[in-house]
Structure 1
């Protein structure tokens, strides 16, 4: 019996690629993933072609639905790729983190350093651990390597690594050294890791001989060195549970972005998705997308400028000692060669491409709360498609279909769901028009 622990970065395309290569080589007979066991019944839907990321698992307290958390997945998230691998390989997959039923049940209990926000957990180093040190502990590793930016260092050393050979062993060793350097984890971190270890023991008792565990890099050492089962049971004893429900919901790249407030977010989800989908030769396709976006906005951009930007990005990368151009290199090259040095087009590129406007989709049979089902039905019947970008619609209330759209938007406002914001109650053609921003 062997347990293989893969310490990954949540929403890291390089981590996902290295993990997939390792799983295909390992061929495990069980895949255990850091995630909410309350949603185990949703795992099978990952095999449905109609479930298109970015999506998220929504878990809420049945008695108090306002108490809810989200677990987002992008196409480039290692957890999503692990689910897809398990479905394609026909091996069981399950989530092993501390159930949200227990975590929501203890909502009033506060860890001495941790704010209870499940959606804010999951980066390479959780916020609870960072609080115990002067700064990000990954910064220690980055500074030792001579890099003042820990985020860029992690990307260069892990996410942009060309080979998966030895990467997870190196991550576990580095995180183990960091964990030894300061205090033990707080109560909630200890409970989470205890539950993950208990889930590993369950898989072993079931007779699994080759178990793969996918977890945040910070947790990897804690899952490799197993204390006694009784020790973990004592850590988990006495937790109160509440009744919860879980479902898949659509998500967006914008809500995956760090600037959205999502604690485990990434700075450039659109760029990461591009690296995932165009891994072989990302630069030419990216420049093509930039030029197309500029032209769609009636801005000057030519193939010659795109070629020059590619050359400049590769030159900057070589000058900085990098194996391939990073987003920093590419953006600087685009600004100089295509945007004529202006920041304004760069901001447009950031919003539309670097962060991106991808919107996930659910299959028709996906479980959903009744309000969501009704809204989706009415959106389809009124041909009012949900889109990630804002748009303005002018409703002629003399048209029965447009009047029905107005009724729907007003009902949503009564429910404090401002999908549409009324701009003014009359248009140029009379008082029978409404202008809405969706």
Structure 2
């Protein structure tokens, strides 16, 4: 160790003896901190410690790069992301460099897709290093951190199967730009010891860590020289490292990352013969204070880097935002926006000229980078840490003009968002900010003090709009800047989408919603745009492409459509589509095939993929392949849960093929034939199964009766269906009614018998409470037998006509809820049938006779033939038979009347009497 920090070591020994029982109590920690700083400072390859998105780090980095002008910059960033950094010129920051893998090989399948992002803002030290290295001739940029593949190789998963170090997915749209990707940050500097962080926050009189860092690190280091900044950051990194809890996995990952980076740097030094004195190593302060044996240009060798897995990784840039960075890395809301504002202030105060990539979006284009001044010779490191630690904090003077400007601006913003704010509120915010700063022992209110004062004085527990005052302050002090990936940096698929949608004449790369009007009939060239939009609607998140007018159905072509497009807002989703293929058609085909061959795919989901392949791609080849897959899945199913969806999709596909193709595809013929036999086999079980709903059974019968003609033409046997229905014995009332309807459809039961059974149900007080469930079964019977609609109307009408009010009124709610829950899609059919049967005018209702009763009226008296007399004589000879028949038919038996029952019976049924007389005469 060097002697530069000898005086500091002596002071710390005295402090340890004064604050503890003996010098050994704190010596291991306090002197270890100095040893870590001394070791890092003495390293020939200069280590530059940084903090993630810290304006003080960015200013110190820009200043040091102009002074030292290194020939090689080693950067703590995933090494496989290096080719993407030049594309930052085509973007507007903040953006995130992303590694994405959908084809996973070497990891569990349920981890897919794998995603790693490294967000980059302008107010960050890493961007300054990247801009310097890429725009300065003769400078090499080398990324030395573990690859994206190693991030997951070293990842310890929780029991639920998610990465243990993933950030919490944010709720807001802007914060969701990173999705559930694993975040990689340069210099994540925060205490891992919860008690230490709580102690710092309590004694610093701040609410959260971002405010503590801003007050006690950012502001003091904003004007410091290079050596002071470097030693303070190393000290903080060493402190947080030594007081971190001893999680074995986390410690191993941290140390392996450091071994990985130093191994890569030594390999590059050996291969390039670069002088370590001409190099700069940019890393997080936590890793700069490393104690591994591989530390340093002359460190130990022997760390074996494991090979990457066989997973296929794709790389690209995605838009980022301040809110996304804050949410992913656990920072306070608005802290990154405040850091961006502080970065601008630091540049004005220190006169440091930052580095920016030539042609960077949002900046004036320059033909070539500005020439750098001559480098400043390095000096021997000295102890700047002692003076910094002994120096009392500098109390900034109150800037009344700045604070007054903030107060006026926040009141103006509050008014625009519905708050009843006035000039008095501006004064109150101004005074309260000064009061809060004084209570927290600082002369100048920080943005966080001002934010608290604004919430206290303006919000008053009422938020009239969607933005609260805290959010308004964040917007006012810098806003949630959202980056954008330029056209040239987009993957081929995203560029192809923008090219194919160019005829719309909209600026689709901008954020926000754009309304697209497509008159395809008048402008046929917009037809391909419609095709692309419907595929994007299928592939992208809701809201990216939303149809307002128009729909796409099988066999139909668009005439006019209206769309709300937000491709700029959902740029990340569009970019990630580019990782799956080179065109939207290819990605859609892969998605459909993946859904069809999923282990949990059902026949309904595979048929959905077939329909989508026909609807969006018009691919008969893909539809045939997926149709064959649907046949395989259907043959293995043992439940009928998906029967309704299978029925509806097969009906649509059959209607489409019959109207657009000269012959049905082979796969759908085989599907109908197999489905007929399959559902015939499952029908008795489904009728008896309590878990199978009446809707599923009705859909099975709908398939069997609806596809019967086609199935029989393909070689199926109708006897199989008859045996299946005959072997079904349900007990649930709705299924019993459904079985009766199936027997009527098969001709095994007449309508008269069905009416008689319904009348019997209505006449039985014990069965009456279950009658709504029988009606539910009849309603569902309209799926396999739509011709029974008039009978169902008749059954409901009989219930309303024959039941007394004491029974009908309590029963009506049950009837309505039953129909709504179990037959909502079939009720319109009943309404149309009722409209056909019932009179259209109120005046005609009094004289209206229901059709089912009109058919029961007696016909005109028949003409008495000679055979009738023979029948009368026959009945007179056999009075007992006459009485039995008359009693059975409900006629009175009284031989004393002028017209005996038998004669009246013969008058009523002359044809029967004549036939019987002829038979007897022949015998």
TM, length-normalised to structure 2: 0.40
Structure 2, unpaired ranges of 5+: 1-42, 105-111, 167-180, 349-398, 551-558, 567-923
- Answering whether residue 290 of structure 2 is matched by residue 222 of structure 1, we say yes
- 1:156 pairs with one of 215, 221, 229: 215
The aligned residue for residue 178 of structure 1 is 240
Higher relative CO (Cα under 8 Å, sequence separation at least 6) belongs to 1
Asked if 2 retains the 8 angstrom alpha-carbon contact of 1:425 and 1:435, the reply is yes
- Answering whether residue 486 of structure 2 is matched by residue 370 of structure 1, we say no
- Answering whether residue 182 of structure 2 is matched by residue 58 of structure 1, we say no
The aligned residue for residue 385 of structure 1 is 508
**Distance between the aligned counterparts of 2:292 and 2:197, measured in 1?**
20
| Distance apart, 1:16 and its partner CA | 1.8
CA spacing shift, 1:348–1:302, aligned 2, 3 Å = same
The aligned residue for residue 140 of structure 2 is 92
Asked if 2 retains the 8 angstrom alpha-carbon contact of 1:21 and 1:164, the reply is no
Structure 1, unpaired ranges of 5+: none
Instruction: State the secondary structure of the residue aligned to 1:222.
Output: coil
Instruction: State the secondary structure of the residue aligned to 2:281.
Output: strand
Instruction: State the secondary structure of the residue aligned to 2:185.
Output: coil
Asked if 1 retains the 8 angstrom alpha-carbon contact of 2:211 and 2:448, the reply is no
Asked if 1 retains the 8 angstrom alpha-carbon contact of 2:258 and 2:292, the reply is no
The aligned residue for residue 183 of structure 2 is 120
CA offsets, 1:327-358, max 9 Å, x none? 32121343456667755541551674568343
Greater shift, 292-301 or 195-204, is seen at: 292-301
**Distance between the aligned counterparts of 2:298 and 2:280, measured in 1?**
23
**Distance between the aligned counterparts of 2:307 and 2:196, measured in 1?**
30
**Distance between the aligned counterparts of 2:408 and 2:71, measured in 1?**
42
Asked if 2 retains the 8 angstrom alpha-carbon contact of 1:253 and 1:355, the reply is no
- Answering whether residue 65 of structure 2 is matched by residue 23 of structure 1, we say yes
Which structure 2 residues correspond to residues 269-308 of structure 1 after superposition, within 5 A? 269-279=336-346, 280=348, 290=410, 293-294=413-414, 297=417
**Structure number with larger C-alpha Rg:** 2
**Distance between the aligned counterparts of 1:231 and 1:241, measured in 2?**
28
| Distance apart, 1:71 and its partner CA | 1.1
Name the one with the larger strand percent. Answer: 1
- Answering whether residue 147 of structure 2 is matched by residue 68 of structure 1, we say no
**Distance between the aligned counterparts of 1:283 and 1:381, measured in 2?**
50
**Distance between the aligned counterparts of 2:74 and 2:305, measured in 1?**
22
The aligned residue for residue 454 of structure 2 is 334
CA spacing shift, 1:24–1:231, aligned 2, 3 Å = closer
Asked if 2 retains the 8 angstrom alpha-carbon contact of 1:54 and 1:359, the reply is yes
**Distance between the aligned counterparts of 2:292 and 2:155, measured in 1?**
31
The aligned residue for residue 249 of structure 1 is 318
Name the one with the larger helix percent. Answer: 2
Asked if 1 retains the 8 angstrom alpha-carbon contact of 2:73 and 2:279, the reply is yes
The aligned residue for residue 125 of structure 2 is 78
| Distance apart, 1:11 and its partner CA | 1.8
CA offsets, 1:229-252, max 9 Å, x none? 898754434343445342223323
| Distance apart, 1:33 and its partner CA | 1.6
**Distance between the aligned counterparts of 1:241 and 1:264, measured in 2?**
30
CA spacing shift, 1:323–1:52, aligned 2, 3 Å = farther
**Distance between the aligned counterparts of 2:51 and 2:340, measured in 1?**
15
Asked if 2 retains the 8 angstrom alpha-carbon contact of 1:60 and 1:68, the reply is yes
CA spacing shift, 1:414–1:200, aligned 2, 3 Å = same
Asked if 2 retains the 8 angstrom alpha-carbon contact of 1:54 and 1:74, the reply is yes
CA spacing shift, 1:74–1:324, aligned 2, 3 Å = farther
Asked if 2 retains the 8 angstrom alpha-carbon contact of 1:194 and 1:233, the reply is no
- Answering whether residue 308 of structure 2 is matched by residue 240 of structure 1, we say yes
Asked if 2 retains the 8 angstrom alpha-carbon contact of 1:395 and 1:434, the reply is yes
CA spacing shift, 1:174–1:187, aligned 2, 3 Å = same
| Distance apart, 1:374 and its partner CA | 2.0
Which structure 2 residues correspond to residues 250-269 of structure 1 after superposition, within 5 A? 250-258=319-327, 262-263=328-329, 267-268=333-334, 269=336
| Distance apart, 1:109 and its partner CA | 6.5
Asked if 1 retains the 8 angstrom alpha-carbon contact of 2:115 and 2:182, the reply is no
- 1:9 pairs with one of 46, 51, 62: 51
CA offsets, 1:130-158, max 9 Å, x none? 3xx5x275556556767674332222122
**Distance between the aligned counterparts of 1:320 and 1:44, measured in 2?**
45
CA spacing shift, 1:364–1:371, aligned 2, 3 Å = closer
Instruction: State the secondary structure of the residue aligned to 1:356.
Output: coil
CA offsets, 1:405-425, max 9 Å, x none? 765443212114434264864
CA spacing shift, 1:125–1:249, aligned 2, 3 Å = closer
The aligned residue for residue 536 of structure 2 is 412
Asked if 1 retains the 8 angstrom alpha-carbon contact of 2:255 and 2:292, the reply is no
CA offsets, 1:15-74, max 9 Å, x none? 22233233333333322221111122233344x3x4321111111237448322111111
CA spacing shift, 1:110–1:207, aligned 2, 3 Å = farther
Greater shift, 241-250 or 54-63, is seen at: 241-250
Asked if 1 retains the 8 angstrom alpha-carbon contact of 2:403 and 2:430, the reply is yes
Greater shift, 346-355 or 76-85, is seen at: 346-355
**Distance between the aligned counterparts of 2:154 and 2:412, measured in 1?**
48
CA spacing shift, 1:319–1:220, aligned 2, 3 Å = same
| Distance apart, 1:437 and its partner CA | 7.2
